[in-house]
Structure 1
């Protein structure tokens, strides 16, 4: 399907791997000029090489969504390379502090909320003028099933992602009449480096293989994922790309679940 966004310019955070990287691949195929960003320039350069885009269509600049000075520097580099962006995809995030509530200290809460909630806030504050400039813009947040179905062993992450959904809804009310549409996508248990690390840790703790850890996690922790497998980043990226497109011209303030049925409610 032609998403009718050829010639648009996008910035994608958390894009050296996983959902962010796959979203960059889809948008590049649609003729979008893409800037990918993440913390480590070397990993970004490798990610850009794997995307194999035509010259002038892809740029890779390191940046930290938690640091306002870093974001300002990133903005300057993006502006010099492509000018004002039309599309912003906020995919950067961490699992953060894990354990039962009484086991997580204040620093664990602060660190997780700084990356997963204040990071998106600071990113949008920096790039919002771009998105409001041309009368057409798209802002997509990567949230999580955890935002509406919290798990007791990762409450800081759950709380942060619930905040992201509220942020997205609020922004969607503020700027839609200017042409900026804001939405969120909530994946569940996607095949990314983040869940690889989770399953490696689970395998070590349970004395099982990596594949057995995935199976037991699905059986015990995610029983409503009816397809009984991890999702693939491309399966999320396709939904993100749709929300970035002109095909989603009447979609605003929505949360699209890409979760195999994991959220056990309507």
Structure 2
């Protein structure tokens, strides 16, 4: 299917991760100019090598997004290298501290909220003038099932993602009449470096291998994932690419769950 976005320009944050690089691949295949941003220049170079020969080579910008000044700096670098963007995919995020509520400190909460919510707010604010100038735009926030189905051992992550979901829904009302549409994608247990780290920790705790850790996690923690496996990052990226496209011209303020049924409510 032609997504009718050839010639558009996109910025992806958190682009070196599994979902980010697959989203870059999907957009590059549609003829989009792609800027990939993440904290580590080395990770970005590895992601570019993974992409291989595509229609165009992505622009790489290493940038920490822990402050508003850093987000403004990212926007300036993007403008200098590619001009205005049409598409913003906010994929930067961390799992953060896990465990019992009484074991989690203020600093743990601040880290999760700063990375998962405030970095998206800052980048959106910094790139908003560019997104509004074209009369056509797309913003997609990579969220999580945890935004609507929280787990008691991941509370900082869950709360930060719930805040991001609320932010995205509210923002979708602000600029839609200018052609700027805002949506979210909420994956569950995708095969990425983030969940690899979770499963390696679980394997150590349970004295098993990765496969055993994944199987027990699905049985004990995610019983509603009816397909009985981790999702693939490209399965998330395909939904993100659709929401970035002209084909999603009447989709605004939505949250698309890519979760194999993990969320147990409507």
Range class of TM-score, shorter chain: over 0.9
**Residue 19 of structure 1 aligns to a residue in which SS?**
helix
Counterpart residue number, 2:79: 79
SS at match of 2:203: helix
State yes or no: 1:14 paired with 2:6: no
Aligned residues of 2:190 and 2:232 also touching (Cα < 8 A): yes
Task: Give me the whole-angstrom Cα distance separating, in 1, the residues matched to 2:17 and 2:23.
Answer: 10
- 1:55 offset after TM fit, Å? 7.9
Equivalent residue number for residue 144 of structure 2: 144
Provide the aligned C-alpha RMSD in A: 1.1
> Deviation digits for residues 203-241 of structure 1, max 9, x if unmatched?
000101110000000000000000000000000000000
Q: What is the 5 A alignment of 1:140-219?
A: 140-219=140-219
What is the aligned length?
Answer: 266
Change (3 A) 1:72 1:55: farther
Report what 1:228 is aligned to: 228
CA contact (8 A) 1:32 1:57 kept: no
Tell me by how many angstroms 1:57 deviates: 4.3
* SS of equivalent residue, structure 1 residue 108: helix
Structure 1 residue ranges without an equivalent (≥5): none
CA displacement at 1:108 relative to structure 2? 0.7
Using the size of structure 1 for normalisation, the TM-score is 0.98
Gaps of 5+ in 2: none
CA–CA distance in structure 2, aligned partners of residues 56 and 215 of structure 1: 39
Check the 8 A contact 1:48/1:59 in 2, yes or no: no
Where does 1:71-110 land on structure 2 (aligned, <5 Å)?
71-110=71-110
In structure 1, what is the equivalent of residue 70 of structure 2? 70
Once residues 260 and 196 of structure 2 are traced to their aligned partners in structure 1, the CA distance between those partners, rounded to angstroms, is: 18
- Structure 2 CA distance for partners of 1:257 and 1:170, relative to 1, 3 Å: same
Q: For the residues of structure 1 that align with 2:70 and 2:164, how far apart are their CA atoms? A: 21
In structure 2, distance between residues paired with 1:209 and 1:56:
39
